[in-house]
Structure 1
Amino acid sequence: MFRSYVNIALRNLWKNRGYAIINVVGLATAFCICTFLFLTAYLHLTYDSFHEDGDRIFQTYSFTNNPEKATKRGAMPLPFAPALKADYPELEAVTRVMTGRKSLVEANGKYLDKLINYTDPDFLRVFSFPLLSGNRASALRELSSVVISQNMAHDLFGTANPVGKRLRIGTDGDLKDYMVTGIISNAPDNSSIQYDALVRIENAPNYQRSKGNWSDGSHAVFVKLPLHVAQGTFEERLKTFAKKYYPGTINELIKKKARPDERGDLFAVRLQQLSDVHFNREISDNRGTPVVAIYVILGMAVFILLIACINFINLSIARSFTRAREVGVRKSLGALRRGLFIQIWGESALICVIGFLAGSGLAYGLMPAFNAAFGSRLNLTNAFQPGFIGLNLVLIVVVTLVAGGYPAAQMAGFNTVSVLKGQITTKRPGTLRNALIVTQFTLACLLACCTVIAYQQVNHLRQSPVGFDKEQVISIPVGAQANGRQVLQRLRNTFASDPAIVSITGTSVNLGRGRDHVSSRSTWGFSYKGRQVSADILLVDFDYLKTLHIKPLAGRDFDRAYASDSVDRVLITQSLARMMGEKNPVGILLGDDDDTTGTKSQVIGVVPDFHLYSVADEAKPIIMHLSGSEPIHYIFVRVTPQSLAGSMEKVKKAWTRAAPQVEFIGTFLDENVDAWYQNEEHLSQVLSLASGVAILLSCIGLFAIALLMMEQRTKEIGVRKVLGASITGIVLLLSRDFVRLVLIALCIALPLAWYGMQQWLANYSSRITISAWVFVAVGIAAILIALLTVSYQATRAALMNPVKSLRSE
């Protein structure tokens, strides 16, 4: 029996291969896109979920209820964790995690740049990254201990066991000896914490200077609560901790007349569940992904799958009326309704399985291209996780039951006598067909509107002023294998008399996102006349303002003629002056009010605010300083517009002479700044892909409905032509109903799109105002696409010979 069903199904599919191909292509496309979107959502939703006791691991953050806006900050001061551990000894573990930039690592004569994380011994008690070799309790006990990843162990030592061996970590000319005490597994892609090696935080640069400073913020702190201690309970206990160690901040908020929040806090230390840290951009220093973006991706996947199901239903219904006599004959020969249902539903199930397999094959083949185009790290191995396999099975069953079950039940229920008399018709299809069309175009128009608005926002961010001139500037990461100051001086000597080079400078922080993909941030907090002030610290070299075309608003730039500029002079941005309440801050000293050591820095100039980090967020206050000892990590070279074409190659040749041991990975600064908007760009691209697929599938569905209607109205069209109706009139008559349905879809989709994108845009300090023309353009485009889709079948039906159509009826 089963074999007979299969043979009949295959024969019917081959006989109606046009419908079968359309169904398979639609389902394969939907399954392929849904695989990409579900894998993307899976990657983000499973961030940090692999740790044992993850429900008891939290990141601390500070909450400040400023009068203007409540803020959260995940970067904590160095003395925070020791104080927390001392005041609450019942905590199971407390660890600091400072993600450093790539450092130079040397072993066995090999020199590599590796990502070094500075942390505490409790790191291996809080997190359950597998330790492949070594003892978790003692691996980071000594200051000279280092735990290295599998990749780093292989790169430095090959297949040999590195435990007990020595290596050196630091910068060129300043390498420190460490002993390998453990090998830790590589951090998975869905981990917020990435590393090549772990060393004690006491080895971090400037640790001794900042270890007692409660105003700085340089790292994350994670705690592991004891069993049966709830998050809310411990946060209540932390109110005493906040009052004890942050009295200045609380007093400053009182002076500002700030009001407590709903929990009664002006300032508080709170906890964020580890599994939610990835979704909190404030706590993760704007590196996280908003959870709403993940829900948007999941929504797009469901929308596309739903549209594909609607197409399947529509095409199956359209085909059911061509098979009505077949069903009637089989019933008259004794076929049971259940048998017919199984037979017809089996054909649908076969199409679903073929579509799923074809979609999986497409996803496998297109995965590298998708990752390259969208900057993703998707891996099909995740598709073989039990949860993901279960999701796919549920999808196949649901799609098969929903998309194939309804048409099968409808055809199996045809009345035998009515079918054989030719009385089966659905001239008035009722609510279902119209609802399906409206749903399809609602989803397609919704995605189209979101795509246009997302593209406009990305374009707006690109065109927003960043506060410096990003054109004609080459940014070069120095890396850890060279001394940045020496390389900078060599390049200055090389280009001293070159008219094509305008200026050269160095800095500690790149602008935008370069090819080294490194982003670091240091802040300095202090009290000034009773005000709590915090700013980003930026190490620069001479000619920094000149290279970026930033003009001082007051005072002067750093000048080689003043020896003191390299010691205790600083430049500040305008927003910091406002924060301090100074209209003319030139000449004032920066530092804590109670600092009597004479180490305060004098302000020599004020510059306009500029974006040191993404323009999607407000420009933060910045303090710029010179230093003869702190390393230069990036070199900026400004070239003349006339020499732009060959400038990169010229600088590259000079670089190979100045730093032959370091690969040249220079980029233009405008490219780096564009990379700031990579997340928004990827979301816009995903929306474009999803909306394009949704529109394509909707058109296929509309084509199927048009085909159904033309087949049902053949006699009516013939009568109208005999009575003198024109072809244009018939085409307009047949298209009118579809236009009405598209208009209903627009009335539903446009308000939803406006509301949803308003919520999304609220995440940006610099954002567009949604224009009405977006909705008008999408509406006109939807109507035109619907008309073009329907017009082919409508014109074909209108051109049919009325004698032939009436005879066939």
Structure 2
Amino acid sequence: MKPDRPTPPRAADRLLEWFVAPHLLETLQGDLHEEFAYQVERIGESRAQWRYWRDVLGFVRPYVMKREKSEYSNPTNADMIRSYIKIALRNLWRSKGYAAVNVVGLSVAFCICLFLFLVAYRQLTFDSFHKDGDRIFQTYFFSNDPDRVSRTGGMPLPLTPALKGEHPEIEAAARVMSGRTSLVEYRGKYFDKMVVQTDPDFLKLFSFPLLKGSREVALRDLSSIVISETMAKAVFADEDPIGKRLLIGSDKKQYIVTGIIADSPDNSSIHYDALARIETAPNYQNDKDSWQAITHWVFIKVAPQVDQAAFEARLKPFTQKYFAGTVQDLIKKGAKADERGDVFALRLQKLANVHFDRDVSDGKGAPIALIYVLIGIAVFILSIACINFINMSIARSFTRAKEVGVRKSLGALRNQLFVQIWSESTFICLLGFIIGAALIYLLIGTFNSTFQTKFTLTHAFQPGFIAWMVGVFLLVTLVAGGYPAWQMAKFNAVEVLKGKVSLKRPGLLRNSLIVTQFAMSTLLACCTIIAIQQVDYMRQQPVGFDKEQVISIPVGNQANGRQVLGRLRNRLANDPTVLAVTGTSINLGKGKDRVTSRSTFGFTYKGKQIVTDWLLVDYDYLKTLNIKPLAGRDFDPAYAVDSVNRVVVTESMAKLIDAKHPIGAFIKDDSDTTGLKTEIIGVIPDFHLYSVADEARPIAMHLSNREDIHYIFVRVATQSLAQSMDRMKQIWREVAPQSEFLGSFLDENVDGWYQNEEAMSKIFSLAASIAMLLSCLGLFAIALLVIEQRTKEIGIRKVLGASVPNIVVTLSRDFVKLVLIALAIAVPLAWLGMQKWLDNYAERITISIWIFVGVGVAAILVALATVSFHSIKAALMNPVKSLRSE
């Protein structure tokens, strides 16, 4: 059998292609190849290759010297830069596969990171636009109750005047009372607008631009109102709003527009359509001197140089003065002072943290820990992409070693080689960054719909975010591109040309990178599975009421809820597909109006501090939700007194007041001297008025003919769900033509409770998938690097009788060990981190060891599948070729 024709060194042929004119190249290469074949037969292949290199260098040296002179004589001239770019593009074009893999990996990583950094940046910059924001705080109460340590931002109405009067270091203080939207009327036109009741100091505290009017006098009078720019355009169109009169609320209270304020930014914790004086709020006159009426939040601005901790210490006498009864009640209950010596205290929350604190301010933002998790995921994915880049660059460095050696032997300096090789890496990073940004433009709609956000590209053009991302890009370029370039520039020219190129301790570097990659990937995979299981577990938990077949309809502000409820009952009275109709003040879950509200009632009963959810309901509430009373009865139209001081309570509420026979028992506030008592007429099982993730409070349901109905529930028959929603929409046009129909099924609303958790699980799933994909690409590159270095070893093993399976096992064994090390690092971290996350939930899963076992087996199988591609290919190679390769 005729042996294969010997092949001259490819690197030498590339050198000819770079420097010799195309019309001379073919003839010159032909002659050199013939001479090489002759020398192989005469003196052997190894010595013939050295002679081939000598001949090639003799032909190209004049071209090289001329080019090196123009390229390296002046490191700052334009010729050198053009040469770097030209050579970089030429090298990348000749290695299209290598460049494509790196560009794809980096573009995906940059896309994911830009999205996650955008989310994190927006959350972390909430309320950052206010001047002197570091001196603005929200007040909150700390209670070291032995049953449950609590923090609440609700404040009594007399607190702010007393606080400001007794502490001169407070420059400004404002009460902020916001709730549902109010009905605004102007010349026969009606609008739903959010009117926030506050104090005149609001305009001194916060830096929302006042477009018209004076900050000193805009809220001076009780009839004054400041409206937002958007509200001004919607209500007044082209008219000048200043001095115009508006009618607001069901009582049509008259206000005079005294100012126009800019719209609150979307990264503001306080949102408004209009600002009015808090003295105009309902029941203000009755509650203005009551230290039990918790109705609003309080923000203060302290003088410069006032330390938060020192000021909180000065608030202790204030707390003892006005809340002595509360402190004594807690001590009687067994409360102990905390590490700061407080049983009950008034403390301060920084404005920058208000958005994240749901206990203190009912913040709508994700928990701060989740934001850091998103940043960590972004860093993980970007790190894996960088590791891949480094791996593939190092793997490619062995194929380019002779090129580097030749360039160094012809006079190229180390820093010049570094810049040349780094420029190639920079170009790949830049291309990946541009493609990643383009993917964001294409996928932002999908991102918003998937994670229920409202991001626009305008967020990405904020100066702070641009600076952040430029810094990330430069860091990635420096790390991912600079390290391989630095290593290649250090190659010894003589050793390279002898074929003895190697990195110092390459095994340590390679092993560290693969362990890091798979540790990150398996960590994310474990967190993903646990998060998904927790969301599924919460959804499967009984909520205490029958959420199926119930339509929830927000009434809105342009209709009277009680009137609409009455009309709807009359209209559906004879409909066999409608089983029950009721009304309430609070929706269950998150409906299409996306409004979540909470009403609580606190009182002292027999020396015990009790806080309960205070729920307004109408007749048939229990029937509509299929809640069966444990004792007593439901509200009944046959009992006229049910609407006056009668309540139906949950089982936990009955236990809280220690009533052995709760039916007929009376609840009375110890501090109430009027003799007003509330009678319990029924006890029902506990149910979740809010998310299962939150700790359930006892509930007291009351009936009132004076309070507004905000939601209507309709239970329909099972055989006509789809038709019932369509029919309900038609009937709604008849009973409430002025109000938009926003009906939804209650089971859909309840799913909305877990929106944040579901978004987190989706983010984890996406991140884990991307991380595993990028890790496989990196492992692919590492396997290529290792197998190229062990080509002769594989040939020797085959010659000595090793089978293909034996060689595959030998080559894969080391990689499996590294994956096991990665699992040993990732599993404890995942367990600790997710245990801490699960501690935030009242109802939570127990983490199973089989999750980690399953992830570990999957990681090992993925690693084996990736490595086996190269292993099998190398094992099937002709051993003669393996032994002849250099």
- Give the TM-score category using the shorter length: over 0.9
- Contact 1:43-1:378 at 8 Å conserved across structures: no
Per-residue deviation at 1:294?
Answer: 1.2
The aligned counterpart of 2:668 is 591
Distance 1:463 1:423 in 2: 64
The aligned counterpart of 2:597 is 520
Distance 2:363 2:237 in 1: 37
| SS of residue in 2 equivalent to 1:612 | coil
Distance 1:293 1:151 in 2: 33
Distance 2:235 2:156 in 1: 34
The aligned counterpart of 2:485 is 408
Counterpart of 2:390 (choices 313, 316, 322) is: 313
- Contact 1:739-1:786 at 8 Å conserved across structures: yes
| SS of residue in 1 equivalent to 2:580 | strand
- Contact 1:101-1:519 at 8 Å conserved across structures: no
- The structure whose RCO (Cα within 8 Å, separation 6+) is larger is 1
1:577 aligns with 2:654: yes
The aligned counterpart of 2:135 is 56
Q: Quick one: which amino acid aligns to residue 159 of structure 1? A: D
The aligned counterpart of 1:683 is 760
Distance 1:654 1:272 in 2: 48
The aligned counterpart of 1:127 is 206
1:12 aligns with 2:88: no
The 1:22–1:259 alpha-carbon spacing in structure 2 relative to 1, beyond 3 Å, is: same
Counterpart of 1:738 (choices 815, 840, 865) is: 815
Q: Provide the aligned length of Structure 1 versus Structure 2.
A: 807
The aligned counterpart of 2:681 is 604
- Contact 2:169-2:306 at 8 Å conserved across structures: no
Per-residue deviation at 1:696?
Answer: 1.1
Distance 2:169 2:103 in 1: 60
1:279 aligns with 2:351: no
- Contact 2:583-2:618 at 8 Å conserved across structures: yes
Distance 1:211 1:510 in 2: 29
Percent pairwise identity: 65
| SS of residue in 2 equivalent to 1:604 | strand
1:429 aligns with 2:501: no
- Contact 1:313-1:406 at 8 Å conserved across structures: yes
1:398 aligns with 2:475: yes
| SS of residue in 2 equivalent to 1:269 | strand
Distance 1:696 1:77 in 2: 55
The aligned counterpart of 1:540 is 617
The aligned counterpart of 1:147 is 226
1:72 aligns with 2:151: yes
- Contact 2:355-2:363 at 8 Å conserved across structures: no
The aligned counterpart of 1:563 is 640
Comparing 580-589 with 8-17, which one deviates more in the overlay? 580-589
The aligned counterpart of 2:545 is 468
Counterpart of 1:253 (choices 330, 337, 362) is: 330
Which structure has the larger Rg?
2
- Contact 1:218-1:523 at 8 Å conserved across structures: no
Distance 1:698 1:436 in 2: 10
The aligned counterpart of 1:443 is 520
- Contact 2:487-2:503 at 8 Å conserved across structures: no
| SS of residue in 2 equivalent to 1:42 | helix
Q: Quick one: which amino acid aligns to residue 738 of structure 1? A: F
1:721 aligns with 2:798: yes
- Contact 1:571-1:607 at 8 Å conserved across structures: yes
Q: Quick one: which amino acid aligns to residue 102 of structure 1? A: T
- Contact 1:572-1:623 at 8 Å conserved across structures: yes
The aligned counterpart of 1:618 is 695
Deviation by residue 1:144-186 (Cα, 9 ceiling, x = unmatched): 2211111111211223321211222214xx3222211111111
Per-residue deviation at 1:274?
Answer: 1.0
The aligned counterpart of 1:115 is 194
The aligned counterpart of 2:170 is 91
Per-residue deviation at 1:209?
Answer: 3.7
Distance 2:657 2:458 in 1: 54
1:767 aligns with 2:847: no
Distance 2:874 2:497 in 1: 25
Distance 2:338 2:469 in 1: 45
Q: Quick one: which amino acid aligns to residue 542 of structure 1? A: Y
Per-residue deviation at 1:427?
Answer: 11
Distance 2:496 2:671 in 1: 96
Q: Quick one: which amino acid aligns to residue 305 of structure 1? A: L
Q: Where do residues 305-454 of structure 1 align in structure 2 (5 Å cutoff)?
A: 305-425=382-502, 429-454=506-531
- Contact 2:354-2:363 at 8 Å conserved across structures: no
Distance 1:801 1:180 in 2: 89
- Contact 1:108-1:156 at 8 Å conserved across structures: no
Per-residue deviation at 1:10?
Answer: 0.3
The aligned counterpart of 2:75 is none
Per-residue deviation at 1:51?
Answer: 0.9
| SS of residue in 1 equivalent to 2:336 | coil
The aligned counterpart of 2:345 is 268
Distance 1:767 1:218 in 2: 32
Counterpart of 2:607 (choices 530, 535, 553) is: 530
Per-residue deviation at 1:791?
Answer: 1.7
Q: Quick one: which amino acid aligns to residue 718 of structure 1? A: G
Per-residue deviation at 1:425?
Answer: 4.5
The aligned counterpart of 1:304 is 381
Per-residue deviation at 1:447?
Answer: 0.8
Distance 2:608 2:504 in 1: 77
The 1:234–1:110 alpha-carbon spacing in structure 2 relative to 1, beyond 3 Å, is: same
The 1:422–1:88 alpha-carbon spacing in structure 2 relative to 1, beyond 3 Å, is: closer
Per-residue deviation at 1:548?
Answer: 0.9
The 1:574–1:507 alpha-carbon spacing in structure 2 relative to 1, beyond 3 Å, is: same
Which segments of 5 or more consecutive residues in structure 1 lack a partner in the other structure?
Answer: none
Deviation by residue 1:529-561 (Cα, 9 ceiling, x = unmatched): 222222221111000011111122221110000
| SS of residue in 1 equivalent to 2:741 | coil
Q: Quick one: which amino acid aligns to residue 176 of structure 2? A: V
Deviation by residue 1:441-467 (Cα, 9 ceiling, x = unmatched): 111111111111111111111112222
- Structure-2-length-normalised TM-score: 0.89
- Contact 1:425-1:712 at 8 Å conserved across structures: no
Comparing 122-131 with 527-536, which one deviates more in the overlay? 527-536
1:26 aligns with 2:70: no
Per-residue deviation at 1:722?
Answer: 2.8
- Contact 1:96-1:120 at 8 Å conserved across structures: yes
Q: CA RMSD in A?
A: 1.7
Deviation by residue 1:23-58 (Cα, 9 ceiling, x = unmatched): 111111111111111111111111111111111111
Distance 1:85 1:573 in 2: 40
Q: Where do residues 207-226 of structure 1 align in structure 2 (5 Å cutoff)?
A: 207-226=284-303
